[in-house]
Structure 1
Amino acid sequence: MDAIDERIMELLRADGRAAYGRLGEQVGLSASAVNRRVDRLVADGSIAGFTIRTGRPPGATPIQAYVEIFCSGNASTASLRATLEAIPEVRRAGTVSGDADAVAYVVAPTISQLESAIERIREAEHVDHTVSSIVLTDMFDR
């Protein structure tokens, strides 16, 4: 990966729908050259996928929380992953160092739906308990 690839990835992070022609103008390449580079970056795993972030409807403020997950016994990462993937409110999760075994980023439209999602996490096999922190202010999102 060279500096041009890194710049293309930076531009795609800012706007995943950016036209290759526009990207090419910004990095000094043709649209087809940008297309080839993006295809290569996808093929080699540097770009794992493309996604969208939906805008919030006027007046709607989803509730966000980081949920620390503490497991008992020999909890399988694969089993915990399957449980968390089945809960649509869980947007991101990972194992972590420190006291908790994993952390999940959970987003729900209401407190009651957030509570329900956390309950489903707590009911998972090998989950001993959780500690939740609700996000008060979004400072930035890259």
Structure 2
Amino acid sequence: MSKRFQLDEIDLQILKMLRKDGRLPYTAIAKELDLAEATVRKRVSRLMEEGVLHVVGVVNPAYIGRAVTAIVGVHTEGQEVEAILSKLQEWDEVRYAAVCAGTYDLMLEIAVESNEELFHFLTKRLRAIPGVVGSDTSLVMKVVKDRFSQVGGEHVSHDS
């Protein structure tokens, strides 16, 4: 679901700067954009209140012992999708989960410590969830782009 939010050029510039460094002080943004710090603070607050901007720390899974990343397409049956998603949200290994139209009902990104743990996740845990009838897995060999959002035009769109 996409919610349109009207962004002006200043909003876009602020978002671009915060994408590069989410900890950037308002004073630095204000100086770079030739604005008052209070203006930047109000705009960032508005962007956060409207749900356009979320500032979070992103942990590289390899640095916490999860060197194996996989993309998993999940086939489901019946009306179990919400219950399946509820279960998946509880698991730390699941970094991303989305309901899809097309080949798969759900797409997951998971990060685990080893191929053995991936095997266990797929064959024991995922298959044990009622409503999961199958899955296809692709092992991520190298990440060449990892962006949480792209800033451009009049809206913010999410891509991974």
What is the alpha-carbon distance in structure 2 between the residues aligned to residue 117 and residue 15 of structure 1? 34
Name 1:82's counterpart in structure 2: 86
Question: How large is the Cα RMSD of the aligned pairs?
Answer: 1.9
Matched residue type, 1:91: R
Match of 1:15 among 17, 21, 28: 21
CA contact (8 A) 1:12 1:18 kept: yes
CA contact (8 A) 1:83 1:121 kept: no
Matched residue type, 1:127: V
- Alpha-carbon deviations, 1:14-65, whole Å to 9, x = none? 2111111111122221222111101001111111x221123554xx671111
Give the match's secondary structure for 2:11: helix
What is the alpha-carbon distance in structure 2 between the residues aligned to residue 19 and residue 11 of structure 1? 10
Give the match's secondary structure for 2:80: coil
- With over 3 angstroms needed to count, the CA separation of the structure-2 counterparts of 1:26 and 1:122, relative to structure 1, is farther
CA contact (8 A) 2:73 2:135 kept: yes
**TM-score normalised over the length of structure 1:** 0.88
Give the match's secondary structure for 1:38: helix
Please show how residues 1-142 of structure 1 align to structure 2 within 5 Å.
Answer: 1-47=7-53, 49-55=54-60, 56-57=62-63, 62-76=67-81, 78-118=82-122, 119-142=124-147
CA contact (8 A) 1:72 1:128 kept: yes
Matched residue type, 2:115: I
**TM-score normalised over the length of structure 2:** 0.78
What is the alpha-carbon distance in structure 2 between the residues aligned to residue 2 and residue 30 of structure 1? 17
What is the alpha-carbon distance in structure 1 between the residues aligned to residue 131 and residue 78 of structure 2? 6
CA contact (8 A) 2:66 2:112 kept: no
Matched residue type, 1:67: V
Matched length? 139
- With over 3 angstroms needed to count, the CA separation of the structure-2 counterparts of 1:30 and 1:100, relative to structure 1, is same
